[in-house]
Structure 1
Amino acid sequence: METEANAETVNLELFEAGGEEGSDFHVFNISDDHYHRTEALQRTGAIDISCNLKKVVHGAISPDSDRYATLLVLQWGFKPQHNTRRIAEATIELEFTPSADGGDVEVERISFDGSYSLMPTTQSESVTRGAEVSLGASYFADLSIGGKWEKTVDSVSSDAISVNGGMHLVNNIPPYRRVKWTLLENETQKSGIPASLTVAVLVSREDQEKFYCGLGFTCKTDKKTAAQSFFKKIPKDDPIIFQPDPREKGKRPHRNILYGDDELGSVDLEKLSDVTFTTIVTRATKSRE
């Protein structure tokens, strides 16, 4: 952990992807054929953090394309256990890696690619600047006048919660295989990042071999959260194993896995994505007969 002026940095590494012998992460997949793990990541503590694999579609970029494709949707949740706890900044990373027998995997598109603002706010300020002045005997023979000139400057500042996303190379070697999203709180309000972020990723592949997705997470919290044990445990997660072959169901098959869509390149990823700051329950009062 690295302490800064108003926040604590907690770095949960982007762990090695694959599954080869000798990897030093703890095993959380049930077996080598535990495909499309629903519970992608989970941390518990002053702030609970989770990532669930909501949907996966295996198919092709287009009917006339020579590239296979996979569409995946992940939902991240950030739930403070106390009203005074908050995450000021969070960075999510995914890294895709082919299996030992598979061809290359490339990130084609992601949702929230670029800079996005949520719930913008404005704040007005009036600043008064002044200086003492004196008019002496050179102007008035027997009178000295002292006073203060003042100038008021009105300014309006704006701020917002922001989501910044992008695709990146690994070790400066094409193609894109890593994606990253950064969430920043509204610094004026200091009310934390959104409670939920749903993102979509489209990757293309050379073949129908299985591939992997490693997850990473870094965040900055308020000082009270940092002073406590932020996470009860920080496990090293197995990567999610994706199996495009519909004949290989594996253990505990995910019910939201689809196969055979050959037009994944035309899917609007933004329609599959969402940002939620908080959920309001409008019918919380119930009567019993």
Structure 2
Amino acid sequence: MEQEHRNSNTSSDNDHEREVAMGQEDQDSQDEYGNEVNMYDVTIDLGKTGVVERRGIMEVRCRSREVVHGRLEPGIGKYATLLVYDVSFKTIKKSRRVTWVKVEFTFASSEGNSRMPEVWSIAPAGTVPLLQSSQEETVRTLSKLTAGAPELLANVNASIEREKTVTKMTSDSARVIGITTCDEFGQQVGASWIMEENKALKSGVPSLIRCVMLVRRRDNRRFECNVSIDTKADWKTELGRLVGSTRETDDPVYFDPQLPPFSRLRKVDEYDLANLLSVDLDALAEIRF
């Protein structure tokens, strides 16, 4: 009987472990809005809450904020997933700065017989000008005019210098450009954001961009996302970063649409899961200096 009891307990423990491994067990954890968060589900769903973390002279971080699975809109068979990520950049010294950034998300199916996810819409989208500036610029040009002296029948030349001054207004701005990217078949399988500094002010790029994506799915099977972040900085930062360093690669992020929402910005019940197309993506997006 004792052996049977031990076997029963072992079986129960194994079942318990299997439940945890499948993300079935709820843990006593809540986000700032009081939503229950299954921490193991978060690990399974996102691969990791922190998607990218690189430290050094330049620190680059990518953090998941929202992963909400549902339907694109009522009455049709298309599924959708709302994704929100915070991507931040920081240099250790105040005198250093990040001058250019490209953040790219590329989606793929995790199962061979599943249809490829498609990026339906993003925010911020298009070109967003920031920190606009204008200044007066004066340009001076010096030209020489040469006149011959034929009456002297000799190679006698006179050189006349003329100066021209032009004053004009020039303007510049930092920019954030958000676009969807396509594969070789023209399907929108990715989204990218490019950030450029205001070259006149040399103010660097924003310290944080909140990237928002609505991904359309044709089924409820698992899918994945590859995240790449490329950066450029002022020459001193680049020099310090490159000495003895190697390019890091990041593992794909995996998603399971069968798992419950993961939300850090809003209460889950604020989303209409049957109509994610109704979500105002611009209201979730953010650019912060």
Aligned 8 A contact 1:58 1:260 in 2: no
The residue number in structure 1 matching 2:279 is 267
The residue number in structure 2 matching 1:187 is 199
Task: Measure, in 2, the Cα distance between the counterparts of 1:222 and 1:107.
Answer: 33
SS in 1 for 2:186: strand
Aligned 8 A contact 2:90 2:98 in 1: no
Task: Measure, in 1, the Cα distance between the counterparts of 2:122 and 2:215.
Answer: 9
Give the letter for the 2:80 counterpart.
Answer: A
Distance 1:31 1:57, change over 3 A: closer
Q: Which runs of 5+ in 1 are unaligned?
A: 1-29, 138-145, 278-289
Identity rate, percent = 30
Give the Å deviation of 1:32: 12
Task: Measure, in 2, the Cα distance between the counterparts of 1:255 and 1:32.
Answer: 10
Aligned CA-pair RMSD? 3.0
Task: Measure, in 2, the Cα distance between the counterparts of 1:103 and 1:78.
Answer: 34
Give the Å deviation of 1:31: 11
Alignment of 1:152-171 (within 5 A): 152-170=165-183
Give the letter for the 1:159 counterpart.
Answer: D
Alignment equivalent of 2:133, drawn from 106, 121, 127: 121
Q: Which runs of 5+ in 2 are unaligned?
A: 1-39, 150-158
Alignment equivalent of 1:223, drawn from 235, 240, 247: 235
Give the letter for the 1:120 counterpart.
Answer: Q
Distance 1:38 1:148, change over 3 A: same
The residue number in structure 2 matching 1:79 is 90
Alignment of 1:10-21 (within 5 A): none
Give the Å deviation of 1:169: 1.5
User: More strand per residue: 1 or 2?
Assistant: 1
Give the letter for the 2:55 counterpart.
Answer: T
Aligned 8 A contact 1:94 1:216 in 2: yes
Decide which structure has the larger Cα Rg and report it. Answer: 2
The residue number in structure 1 matching 2:218 is 206
User: More helix per residue: 1 or 2?
Assistant: 2
SS in 2 for 1:34: helix
Give the Å deviation of 1:150: 4.4
Aligned 8 A contact 2:58 2:241 in 1: no
Deviations, residues 2-44 of structure 1 (Å, cap 9, x unaligned): xxxxxxxxxxxxxxxxxxxxxxxxxxxx999721231011110
Distance 1:276 1:33, change over 3 A: closer
Deviations, residues 110-159 of structure 1 (Å, cap 9, x unaligned): 11222111110111112334557899x9xxxxxxxx99654432101110
Q: Normalising by structure 1, report the TM-score.
A: 0.72
Q: Which structure carries more relative contact order (alpha carbon 8 Å, separation 6+)?
A: 1
Give the Å deviation of 1:164: 1.1
Give the Å deviation of 1:177: 0.5
Task: Measure, in 2, the Cα distance between the counterparts of 1:132 and 1:242.
Answer: 69
Q: Normalising by structure 2, report the TM-score.
A: 0.72
Alignment of 1:103-122 (within 5 A): 103-122=115-134
Alignment of 1:1-289 (within 5 A): 34-36=44-46, 37-100=48-111, 101-130=113-142, 150-170=163-183, 172-230=184-242, 234-246=247-259, 254=262, 256=264, 258=268, 261-277=273-289
Distance 1:82 1:32, change over 3 A: closer
Task: Measure, in 2, the Cα distance between the counterparts of 1:214 and 1:40.
Answer: 10
Give the Å deviation of 1:206: 1.1
